[in-house]
Structure 1
Amino acid sequence: MFFTSLTVAQTKVGGKVIDEFDEPVAFANVFFKNSKTGVITDENGNFYFESDENYSTLVVSFVGFETQEIPLKKGLNSNLKIVLKEGTTLKEVIVYTGKTSKKNNPAIDILRKIWARKKKNGLYMFDQYKYDKYEKVEFDMNTIDSAFMNSKVFKGMEFIFDNIDTSRITGKTYLPIFINESLLEVYGDNLKKKKKEILKANKNSGFGNGDGVNTFIKDLYADYNIYNNYLKFFDKSFVSPLSRTGIDVYNYVLSDSAYIDNKWCYNIVYYPRRKNELTFKGDFWVNDSTWAIKKINLEASKSANINWVKEIYIEQEFDVLNDSVFLLKRDYMMSDFSLSKKEESKGVYGKRTTVVKNHVFNEPKDDKFYREEVNFYDNEVFAKTDEFWNENRFEGLNENESGIYKMLDTLQTVPKFKKIYNLATILGSGYIQVGKFDYGPIFSTFGYNDVEGLRVRAGGRTYFGPNDKWRLQGYAAYGFKDNKVKYGLLGKWMVDTKNRIILSLGNRRDVEQIGVSLTTSNDVLGRSFASSSLFSSGTNNKLTSINLTTLGFEMEPVKNFIFQTNFSYRTLKSASNEFSLDYYTDLTQTEIKSEVKQAEINLVAEYTPKRKTVGYGVDRLEVDNNYARLFLSYSNGMKGVFDSDFNYQKVQFYYRQPVLIGGFGRLFTTFEAGKIFGEVPLGLMGVIPGNQSYFSIENTYNLLDYYDFVADQYASLHFEHNFGGRLFSRVPYLRKLNLREIIGVKGVVGSVSDENIMINASGLNYVSPENLYWEYHAGVGNIFKVLRIDFAWRGSYLDMPNARKFAVRASFGFYF
């Protein structure tokens, strides 16, 4: 293997640059003599790079130090320790040490010219454009050593190490474990601000659905434009070195100038002014007339406040179409995912290579062309032959990449590997697959509340594949305190795949906490955290026995616009002797009824622009929740239908909008409003959602108990901003902890009509937030990378009986 690696790359070098006091020299230039091949050392002075050419001398330089030339042997030169001495004489050189000056700096003068021309370069110069794109995504286990290869885990699977290789970026050994290739046609219209990608072919190396993997990858490695002020990776906004705000977070040095493809270019080195911010280090070459970027590389600072990612490395190369047009021709990105940022820690490389060609300009398309198909799936896209790929790849696979397909096909026949893969699938999905049936979700097996006591639940679903057009699912549960069996059954059938027309029928008999969300739902199998959590504060006995039957129709006529209508019939009664849903049935308040029977027609329109999903079946997985959501619902209660008790109309509106605010984190804004027309009892009333758990729950109020406030008309507004560590990164002693600061405020105003107060016989004192109830919170996230703690304070209604004025809430999650 060592001999083979030398034949691939002729010269490899790696090591560390230090000064005379044994301190690392960060951001020093390291390159092969008489070449443009090199890198910049990281914060710890470490470096590694390689070349297909033979070089005999390594040059190491940094402003304020004497340049060193290190002789090299052929092949691999590892663990070099290079000591730089402080310089004594400098000729005709402006020295930038530490933080470079923002004034009289030629590099910044060039940067301003780049800003002035950035909208006049590349694809921005044309009204419309079209090009072909080849995209290759690969995942590799890295830092492979002999102890790892000899582990008992791999007994019987030793053949996988035949494909081991060495990274040209880090010098670490790696083992390819996954590859996905795509061929696409890309169309864009700068006037209409439209863009469309048409997938022509996809080849997947054995795991999961090809297009599903592709969707996940596109979110993980989102497209970016280096000329933008901020570059989004892993849901974080990194400051671009070409940003107009770059001079506040980067140091810039004009390092060199040379001809590249017969174009005179300047070389500018940049590196962060401060640690722990979302920044890069690297260099770029820029043309001296168009001020367009010819080459650029970006390497994320290891101290950047991002979890589970040890390295991010990007290379982009631009082609010269004519004297004035520079177009991106190759984009390479590599990430090192690891539980630890220590140099020796093992992890997984994620690589994406994009190559574009065959540009065509100024051929307009109508709006219908850019309309995204709702549920497109073409089996031929995923069934191209090996001969097709050999003829149509924009660049060939190397020997190890070609071996991935064969290796993974072989792996899936190994029983031990199947067990490992199945375990990972169970932990990821929450279901245990048994033939064509999935048991689960296993995380809902146990729960607790004051009515049911300890609750156990078992359930499952049919599962023939990720794109099933029909599905049956259900569960049964038992409470050891009330000694009652509960259940839920639901069937769904997608009768039209193009417009996602889905019919559903379900029934649920269970115990539920009503009023944990302002926006109501007829989800048959849903269950709130309030009635299923293992731990809660205060009494949790205001639960309702519900028997709900729904018949539903759903369609998606336009991508991410969903229309639903369903008929539901429910009976509601108290599940506890300590809680009542009683109401008066006459004006004299002499007759009382304890059970509500209600038939209802519900119409819903929901729009979720930029939502990304995986799969084309009746059930789809969402990639993330960072998209806007608009929800409008109209419900009509029908008295007399199936002996129903009430006539009413209910209108509800919900709007949630996440906004990335440059390098200052993300703001979530949520607005809800609703009104009930007609008389309704407590069981059908709007309840302001409280939170008696010890955990943070979205769109609930941390200082309210269940049923503290009720309302038949309401409006609420929530703001929460996550700074992503922007403030803590400026505090010396907090900087290394990579904590993230969160602040928020939420409020609700509402009222109850006199008619609804009059029919109430439950004994509950109807209180509504007529004078605005509000609370605020501040939190610290990313504690040990998984824990967030919020501190909440009550802002109004401080004199209410048993009012909680302060609370601490926690939440867990894995976030980049």
Structure 2
Amino acid sequence: MNRFLQIIFFLSFFSVFSQTKVGGIVQDESGEPIAFANIIFKNSSEGTITNDNGRFYIESDEVYDTVLVSFIGYETLEIELGQKVTYNMEIILQEAAEQLAEVVVYTGKQSKKDNPAIEILKKIWAKKRQNGVRQFEQYQYDKYEKLEFDLNTIDSALIKSKLFKGLEFMFQDLDTSRITGKTYLPMFLNESFSKVYGDNLLKEEKEDVLGNKNAGFGGNQSITAFVEDLYSDYDIYNNYLKFFDKSFTSPLSKTGVDTYNYVLSDSTFIDNKWCYNIIYYPRRKNELTFKGDFWVSDTTYAIKKINLQVTKSANINWVKEIYIEQDFDVVNDSVFLLKRDYMLSDFSFSKKEESRGVYGKRTTVYDNYQFDKKRPEDFYKAKSDPYDPRIFKRDSTFWKNARLEQLNEDESGIFKMLDTLKTVPKFRTYYDIVSILGSGYIEIDKWNIDIGNIYSVFGFNDAEGTRVRLGARTYFGQNDTWRLEGYMAYGFKDQKAKHGLSAKFLLDRKTRLILSGGNRRDIEQLGISLTSTNDVLGRSIASSALVTVGANDRLTNINLSTLNFEMEPAKNFRVRLGGSFRTLSSALPDAFSLDYLDSEAPNGISSEVRQFDINTTLIYTPGRRTIGYGVERDEINDDYSTLLLNYTKGTRGFLESDFDYERLQFSYRQPWQIGGLGRLTSSVELGKTFGEVPLSLLSVVPGNQTLFSLYNTFPNLDFYEFVTDTYATVHLEHNFNGRLFSRIPFLRKLNLREIIGLRGAWGQLSDENIALNSPTNIPLIAPDDQIYWEYSFGIGNIFKIFRLDFNFRGNYLDNPNARPFGITGTFGFNF
């Protein structure tokens, strides 16, 4: 979400020209706005519908002199246009004396029998099929994609403000959106051209990127990743369409009749095919729904043209408008090919009509379809390199031929304008401020070093008291093949310095062979994770939480050194092999003892562990998408599953290591989009340690004594309350995204979101390990009698940024200082 804020803040600091433009408001005789009224240019299929406030904007490349305004129950109004551009129209519709008998609109559950639009919808369901390219053995086509960000709602006050003093040249060429009617200034543009090849028999597809060109944020990988994730592919025939991590009910869905009202509005020829026009709009407010219309062929019942606009009342943050258009070429009864896909998002901190924001637009054009051209399987295995430097250096001749849709005058000017902006000190200052807020790092370009992370500067815990930390990393570019990073920290209570150092080297780009290593000497809360930390730079929030529940004194001194090799032999499958040596001791020995029996110690008890481990880890993340090819890559989606298998071998004697043991661990995390019911996140972890080990090497069921809601922890458990050498845990968390609250009238306008959680843990601790750790002052309890469980109810989206969780403990209430109830929370910018 920081990527989103980076774009919003930055642009907030700073088509072929249409022939006919019309905008205004539609009202009834009493002055009330009419939502979802139909606006269409006479003798055309070009139209739109009014928004929730009765407002509309429509434009066309053609010249029209008449516009038709209609809505069920009102007389159709035919308005002559005296000029090409007509804004601020106030249109009054008169109630009709008689309603049309052949079209019936219901406010409750619809009768499928009496509504002709529903009858057409049934035929769409019966004949809906995959994209037409799936009907052939092989296929190929050209694909041109254009991504753009624009600053919108520009007026004279903004242009003359002190913020843009000295940057007035930016506003010399402004255009007007054909969707919203607002003026906008293009600030970022990315173009790509590729050829796509597929074989349905082999079930193979590959995309060869032949050209890529951008202006604006080309060097900012996090913003590029945000854009990629923002505009993921979708299929309008699916029951639900996912945008911004939320599922919107498709108007073509079989569940649509319970979500939308449908009206058969018109019929006409489009490209020599007779088509019906159906208008749809939502039955209820605050749900994740669209409004708009679609044209459908009368013989194939394939969609010829559709537009979808998210209603303003939809429970989604920071997005004022989402508008989608798709045009299809209906070839015959079994083939319909996507020709053009357009999506516009209007990002803004407010949904008020006059609020300024940022347009994010994606246009994808498909052409030159060819079918049944057979290629050997090796052709599909040979993937092209999307980061080949030649791809980013294509000349003007290449782009003139590659653009399946030409740039308009404003878009063409982006490259020149941004070249000029980069030389303006004031612009660089704005960019640097926002870059720091978004990434957390201060860029020192002349040294190729970033200072940060600024969000980790201050912390507090019982051992260190107030703590300060300052770090830095090398940064030559987003695709660096090596990176050095480190930090220094100081605790004012223990008066000790700490540090962390890390180095990573990409040795082979094809297999992503990476050598990494480092050293960390610090204080850490180990009882918040089931897996031993091998991160020489990271730090859990529990180690520095300003406010905690109960005594947060079970902290550990850690001196960790690591050396690892990692490679990716297959896409999204990583293999990691490495070794680590750690020294562990209690940071507060009087309150938290890590003592264990040691026959070789002078008094038979040791307080410190020295341990060398060899680790082998397999990680599989199907569906994971990344951007960049450097030693560090950004992820551009979070809807993939993660399967992890880890084997650890502790070796006694090597480097004076203390223990021989083996540990096997498995975890599986999966997010699930449950249609219109929201998003479920599930995770399962299993593990077993073979051999006798001290408390500092056992598996602690993750407690949480902070006031933050942390997934994969148990908020009603104290740190080290349950200690195991064999364990199994499960976590379930479901976010309904306001589906339930939207049906409660007095809660509907608050756009709250309901979250429920269920957590469980079972574990055992062997008698041998209990005996070994008998000197410790920590009760060694494992949840072996019955599964420990908790449940929670949460309310999210409070003031758009806060979430509160009410957590309940299900059992083991007799444990010392057991907490039966607790409240945790978090904050963040989420759609």
Could you say whether these structures have the same fold, taking a TM-score greater than 0.5 normalized by the shorter chain as the test? yes
Q: How far apart are residue 74 of structure 1 and its match?
A: 0.8
1:5-84 alignment runs, 5 A limit: 8-84=17-93
SS for the counterpart of 1:716 is strand
Q: How far apart are residue 587 of structure 1 and its match?
A: 11
Q: How far apart are residue 496 of structure 1 and its match?
A: 1.0
| 1:326 corresponds to | 336
Equivalent-residue separation in structure 1 for 2:147 and 2:419 (angstroms): 18
Are 2:723 and 1:722 equivalent residues in the alignment? no
- Residues 208 and 384 in structure 2, CA contact (< 8 A), matched pair in contact too: no
- The equivalent position to 1:710 in structure 2, one of 708, 712, 723, is 723
Residues 592-633 of structure 1 show CA distances to partners (whole Å, capped at 9, x for unaligned) of 111111111111111111112222111122224321011111
- Residues 751 and 769 in structure 1, CA contact (< 8 A), matched pair in contact too: yes
Are 2:775 and 1:766 equivalent residues in the alignment? no
1:558-637 alignment runs, 5 A limit: 558-576=570-588, 577-586=590-599, 591-637=604-650
SS for the counterpart of 2:675 is coil
- Residues 14 and 78 in structure 1, CA contact (< 8 A), matched pair in contact too: yes
Equivalent-residue separation in structure 1 for 2:648 and 2:130 (angstroms): 52
Across the aligned residues of Structure 1 and Structure 2, the Cα RMSD in angstroms comes to: 2.0
Residues 200-247 of structure 1 show CA distances to partners (whole Å, capped at 9, x for unaligned) of 111101423488765433311111111111111111111111111111
Equivalent-residue separation in structure 2 for 1:114 and 1:551 (angstroms): 58
Are 2:128 and 1:118 equivalent residues in the alignment? yes
SS for the counterpart of 2:207 is strand
Gaps in structure 1 of 5+ consecutive residues = 1-5
| 2:766 corresponds to | 753
Counterpart amino acid of 2:368? N
Equivalent-residue separation in structure 2 for 1:191 and 1:156 (angstroms): 60
| 1:361 corresponds to | 371
Are 2:671 and 1:662 equivalent residues in the alignment? no
1:451-600 alignment runs, 5 A limit: 451-576=463-588, 577-586=590-599, 591-600=604-613
SS for the counterpart of 1:8 is coil
- Residues 556 and 584 in structure 2, CA contact (< 8 A), matched pair in contact too: yes
- The equivalent position to 2:355 in structure 1, one of 345, 348, 368, is 345
- Residues 103 and 263 in structure 2, CA contact (< 8 A), matched pair in contact too: no
Q: How far apart are residue 262 of structure 1 and its match?
A: 1.0
Distance 1:212 1:804, change over 3 A: closer
- Residues 136 and 182 in structure 1, CA contact (< 8 A), matched pair in contact too: yes
Equivalent-residue separation in structure 1 for 2:769 and 2:80 (angstroms): 89
- Residues 225 and 634 in structure 2, CA contact (< 8 A), matched pair in contact too: no
Equivalent-residue separation in structure 2 for 1:131 and 1:107 (angstroms): 34
Are 2:254 and 1:249 equivalent residues in the alignment? no
- Residues 105 and 115 in structure 2, CA contact (< 8 A), matched pair in contact too: no
Equivalent-residue separation in structure 2 for 1:397 and 1:289 (angstroms): 36
1:407-418 alignment runs, 5 A limit: 407-418=417-428
| 1:732 corresponds to | 745
Equivalent-residue separation in structure 1 for 2:466 and 2:385 (angstroms): 42
Are 2:391 and 1:381 equivalent residues in the alignment? yes
Counterpart amino acid of 1:755? E
1:223-372 alignment runs, 5 A limit: 223-322=233-332, 324-363=334-373, 370=380
SS for the counterpart of 2:274 is strand
Gaps in structure 2 of 5+ consecutive residues = 1-14
Residues 164-183 of structure 1 show CA distances to partners (whole Å, capped at 9, x for unaligned) of 11111111111111111010
Q: How far apart are residue 12 of structure 1 and its match?
A: 1.4
- The equivalent position to 1:778 in structure 2, one of 767, 776, 793, is 793
Residues 537-559 of structure 1 show CA distances to partners (whole Å, capped at 9, x for unaligned) of 21111111111111111111111
SS for the counterpart of 2:353 is coil
Counterpart amino acid of 2:412? S
| 1:130 corresponds to | 140
Distance 1:587 1:446, change over 3 A: closer
Q: How far apart are residue 7 of structure 1 and its match?
A: 9.9
| 2:8 corresponds to | none
- Residues 210 and 382 in structure 1, CA contact (< 8 A), matched pair in contact too: no
Equivalent-residue separation in structure 1 for 2:364 and 2:386 (angstroms): 23
- Residues 526 and 532 in structure 2, CA contact (< 8 A), matched pair in contact too: no
Distance 1:369 1:735, change over 3 A: farther
Equivalent-residue separation in structure 1 for 2:771 and 2:495 (angstroms): 35
Distance 1:483 1:136, change over 3 A: same
1:380-459 alignment runs, 5 A limit: 380-434=390-444, 435-459=447-471
Equivalent-residue separation in structure 2 for 1:702 and 1:289 (angstroms): 59
SS for the counterpart of 2:87 is strand
- Residues 728 and 741 in structure 1, CA contact (< 8 A), matched pair in contact too: yes
Distance 1:437 1:218, change over 3 A: closer
- Residues 74 and 95 in structure 2, CA contact (< 8 A), matched pair in contact too: yes
- Residues 482 and 504 in structure 2, CA contact (< 8 A), matched pair in contact too: yes
Equivalent-residue separation in structure 2 for 1:121 and 1:103 (angstroms): 29
- Residues 215 and 612 in structure 1, CA contact (< 8 A), matched pair in contact too: no
Equivalent-residue separation in structure 2 for 1:214 and 1:415 (angstroms): 24
SS for the counterpart of 2:746 is helix
Equivalent-residue separation in structure 1 for 2:710 and 2:586 (angstroms): 24
Are 2:828 and 1:813 equivalent residues in the alignment? yes
Provide the identity percentage.
Answer: 61
Residues 699-721 of structure 1 show CA distances to partners (whole Å, capped at 9, x for unaligned) of 11000111101000100011111
Equivalent-residue separation in structure 2 for 1:364 and 1:94 (angstroms): 50
Counterpart amino acid of 1:38? G
- Residues 374 and 558 in structure 1, CA contact (< 8 A), matched pair in contact too: no
| 2:214 corresponds to | 204
When normalised by structure 1's length, the TM-score is 0.96
Distance 1:146 1:585, change over 3 A: same
| 2:3 corresponds to | none
SS for the counterpart of 1:421 is helix
SS for the counterpart of 2:262 is strand
Distance 1:209 1:190, change over 3 A: farther
Q: How far apart are residue 35 of structure 1 and its match?
A: 2.6
| 2:802 corresponds to | 787
| 1:3 corresponds to | none
Counterpart amino acid of 1:271? Y
| Number of matched pairs | 811
